[in-house]
Chains A and B, each alone.
Chain A
Amino acid sequence: MADKVRNTASEALDGVLRDGMTIMAGGFGLCGIPENLIAAIHEAGTKNLTVISNNCGVDGFGLGILLGGAQIKKMISSYVGENKLFEQLYLAGELELEFNPQGTLAERIRAGGAGIPAFFTKTGVGTLVAEGKEVREFDGERYVMERGLKADLSIIKAWKGDAEGNLVYRKTARNFNPMMATAGAVTVAEIEQLVPVGTLDKDEIHTPGIYVDRIFQGATFEKRIEQLTTRPRAEKEAV
């Protein structure tokens, strides 16, 4: 068996990065993002990237650091509202942007990884999203054709993984990671805990190892919180 395990993010990306490539990056907001791999791409200085990710991080963290390094040429996202630098670069014409409805983005990636070149959805019919795309009627309702999406490289984040590349995600940090794992020509996974093969419950593996080419345990996970919302302790007694 090919050895998939690497020691660091830069080792895991060795020989994979090139200018102008398309990268899928998992995560929703800052939740479940491959922060070690993003930092390594920043360090490598790879340029003219097309990045497919639901969001684009925040200023100075997540994919935001690749914007800071002027490494991204184009973003394919559903929502980018949390990032001032993004806005500046976009308004200055230095960044291309393609908005996809979130569910369409998720399904395009799922389809890309599953060998489905296109599909029809009712999301976006009659809106700007459908412009220039084939619209077809099925059973009396109109649907718009969307294309499957693939990438040269998928960078994803999981909670636990093993040397086979089997992955388990944690809570809402799963989000786009499982589909992106299937849609990259090369998929690199960073995990919080590398566990011995055989210790993950085989019935509870979210991403089977076939989709993962390289895997490493991240050095540190900052796991920054975007909107910390809590309720006061006093309520606890009241309940």
Chain B
Amino acid sequence: MAWTRNDMAARAAKELQDGFYVNLGIGIPTLVANYIPEGVSVTLQSENGMLGMGPFPYEGEADPDLINAGKQTITELASSSYFSSADSFAMIRGGHINLSILGGMQVAQNGDLANWMVPGKMVKGMGGAMDLVAGVRRVVVVMEHSEKSGAPKLVKRCSLPLTGAGVVDLLITDLAVFEIDGGGVRLTELASGVALEEVRAKTEADFAVAL
């Protein structure tokens, strides 16, 4: 049984350490906030200018002046702070954020990430993704292992335009977990009930097995 979106988020949440400042991307990464391990306290950064993101507001209490980077209404915590976009990206670019968890379209065996543009389709823009992968100390990508067409997404070389070159530290898919560094890709975990043969068959990139 491959991991569900929630399983993948729960696995990604294990990367959180007490005291971390963390930026979560849109989609599965947002779900990570539901699985913060007990005894671990993290501060969520929203790149539109907030540290200490709280949960969604109760019905009737949404404030149009208080949104996250996905433009969803949120709330503040006692510990929250607000700042400008320039300050926000100074935090990101300056290496002050410990961990960024974001989605992906393709990851290459050298750590390249593509997640913002498919040539020939309307391009919405990279938003803050290029800054996050360039500046945050540890970058975790969470994505499905294969395209809907079955094409592999962990590849030798990205065919899609890059978001960042050599930036991915950890990849979590619905089938497995991979560590990526200068030495290449190492498979370190299999999703429960997934066989190594299946991962091999669905992966284009070269990888070592370190289970």
Contact = CB atoms under 8 A, between A and B. Distances in A.
A28 B56 contact: no
Interface centre among B63, B74, B90 (most CB of A within 10 A): B63
Contacts of A81: 124-125
A200 interface: no
Given A31-B65, A127-B164, A128-B161, A79 B48 contact: no
Nearest to A87: B122
B165 A127 contact: yes
Nearest to B85: A106
A227 B84 contact: no
B41 to A, nearest CB: 17
Given A99-B123, A106-B86, A126-B165, A225 B73 contact: yes
Contacts of B48: 28-29, 31, 172, 175
Contacts of A54: 85
B64 A225 contact: yes
Interface in B6-43: none
Contacts of A177: 84
A5 interface: no
Contacts of A32: 65
Interface string A170-190: 111111111100000000000
Nearest to B122: A87
A78 interface: yes
B82 A106 contact: no
Contact of A103 (B68, B124, B128, B161): B128
A201 to B, nearest CB: 15
A128 B119 CA distance: 12
Interface in B163-210: 163-166
A174 B83 contact: yes
B71 A31 contact: yes
A102 interface: yes
B101 interface: no
Contact of A78 (B71, B112, B125): B125
Contacts of B60: 230
Contacts of A176: 84-85
B21 to A, nearest CB: 16
B3 interface: no
Given A229-B72, A229-B73, A101 B128 contact: yes
B47 A229 contact: no
A228 B88 CA distance: 23
Interface centre among B57, B64, B69 (most CB of A within 10 A): B64
B59 A230 contact: yes
B56 A229 contact: yes
Nearest to A235: B58
Nearest to B57: A230
B66 A172 contact: yes
Interface string A91-132: 100000001011111110110000000000111111111000
Given A102-B89, A223-B65, A231 B164 contact: no
B55 A123 contact: no
A174 B66 CA distance: 10
Contact of A232 (B59, B64, B126, B134): B59
Interface of B: 46-50, 55-74, 76, 82-86, 88-90, 92-93, 112, 117, 122-131, 134-135, 161-166
Given A127-B165, A175-B84, A229-B56, 5 more contacts: A31-B64, A78-B125, A82-B71, A126-B112, A128-B161
13 contacts: A31-B64, A32-B65, A54-B85, A79-B126, A103-B88, A103-B128, A104-B130, A123-B134, A123-B135, A174-B84, A175-B48, A175-B85, A229-B56
